[in-house]
Amino acid sequence: MKIIFLDVDGVLNSDEYFDKIKNLDIQGIERDIDVEKIKLLKKAIDATGAEVVLSSSWRYTRNAQYLKELLSKYGIYVDSTPYIQNERGLEIRKWLSEHQDVEDFVILDDEIFESYDEELMKKLVKISNGNGRSFGEGLLLSDVDKIIEKLGRKKIKQELNEEIER
């Protein structure tokens, strides 16, 4: 199984998005989440066959359920890392220790945490930072390319059948 550990702020939203919707009457979770960023995430999922694990602080906020519902509208179903005193690296490590069938993973985040060890740093797809603003550019197509490069494309049925026959 391939995993994408997902942060939310700075990944599924951006300064540009908040500027764009500032004067619009958008209600609910879409006020905080850019659907276009979800579509880019879905592109990475479809290409790699990865599953998503929420590592964002969003996982323990009142908006978590709304976020999960929005993601599910796009066929993205998520698990969550455990809470270990906001030590994201430790939380990811704990989740991995409880899921031995993970063959590879990436971390999508706009921040680098002190608890990220050398291996986790190699798995990080660093989403742009805010450059003095708060959210930066969010997930971009170039980031999707990096995810696919790190995780590899999913095998199609014919390739799997050929492997079994060998």
Size (the chain), residues? 166
- Go through 59-78 and write b for each residue having 16 or more CB atoms within 10 A of its CB, e for each that does not: beeebbebbbebbeeeebeb
Q: Give residue 25's pLDDT.
A: 78
What ranges in the chain are assigned the alpha helix state H?
15-21, 35-48, 64-73, 88-97, 118-123, 141-151, 157-165
- Residue-wise pLDDT tens for the chain (166 aa)? 999 999 999 999 988 888 888 888 777 788 889 999 999 999 999 999 999 999 998 888 878 899 999 999 999 999 999 999 889 999 999 999 999 999 999 999 998 889 999 999 999 999 986 555 577 889 999 999 999 999 999 876 555 555 555 5
Q: Give residue 134's pLDDT.
A: 77
Q: Give residue 130's pLDDT.
A: 57
Q: Please state which architecture CATH assigns to domain 2-165.
A: 3-Layer(aba) Sandwich (3.40)
Q: Give residue 166's pLDDT.
A: 56
